[in-house]
Amino acid sequence: MKSPLNFLGTGACFNISKGNTSAFFKPNEKTIALIDCGENIYEKIFKNNLLTNIENLVVFVTHMHSDHVGSLPSLLFAASFMSNIKNVSVVCECIDEMKLFLKICGNPKANLISCNEFSGTYGIKCSSVPAKHGKMKASSYFFETNGNKFYYSGDTSEINLEAVKLLKEHKLDCIFHEATSIGYGIHTEISKLEKVFEPAIRNKVFCIHISNDNDEKLFISKGFNVPCHFFTKNINLSQ
């Protein structure tokens, strides 16, 4: 199945070749919504001219690990210098931590807002649920936009059973779930995903936050999906 999200990267924190896991969607012509903005995401946004003709920039943040927020300050500073960008929102449930992080980084302008408060803006319906990711405050998100309904796990060691149920009842189109072969108690082992998703529906489960190529091959061999990278062929990160 085709992914409703465009992925700028699908890697885990140390996976340089696949880049930080981050994706975007455009609920309308003037709006771009990004999910997470790790260390190497800012560069990809600008190399792909993703902010051209955009008036509303929204960044959903799952949690404060640097592979998810590392280049967010640069993105926000750059957006503040672009005359076409009128509104910048950072949607998260870790607003105090985000405020402090942005303050330390020089206080780029952004409207910090919780998911519930933001939901309904620019044609994006969303809700957040707590994720379990070690001691880090982390969120997973349900989205409804452009006729697509999907769930995005972010980093988590637990599978949200409501999301599983909704997928099985055809009330979600697909799930984006982090996956790994070794979870170290803070990530989701592929064996856990195998237990809750029978083979017939695994093509609706996109594995993200992938540690290495062997893991990716393993997930595909078990019938799970993995997202393609947006414009991969046009990006030469060595330039």
Residue numbers of the site for Zn ion (CB under 5 A)?
A: 13, 65, 67, 155
Closer to Zn ion by CB, 67 or 173: give it.
Answer: 67
Tokens of 146: 């452009």
| 3 state SS of 109 | coil
Q: Quote the CA–CA distance of 152 and 217 in Å, as a whole number.
A: 21
Closer to Zn ion by CB, 44 or 65: give it.
Answer: 65
Question: Which residue is associated with the tokens 């799970």?
Answer: 224
Q: Quote the CA–CA distance of 181 and 190 in Å, as a whole number.
A: 6
**What is the closest distance, in whole angstroms, from the C-beta atom of residue 123 to Zn ion in the complex?**
28
Characterise 19 by phi-psi region: left (phi > 0), alpha (psi -120 to 50), beta (else). Answer: left
**What is the closest distance, in whole angstroms, from the C-beta atom of residue 13 to Zn ion in the complex?**
5
Closer to Zn ion by CB, 13 or 129: give it.
Answer: 13
Q: Quote the CA–CA distance of 115 and 22 in Å, as a whole number.
A: 18
**What is the closest distance, in whole angstroms, from the C-beta atom of residue 52 to Zn ion in the complex?**
28
Closer to Zn ion by CB, 13 or 113: give it.
Answer: 13
**What is the closest distance, in whole angstroms, from the C-beta atom of residue 39 to Zn ion in the complex?**
11
Encoded amino acid at 70, one letter: G
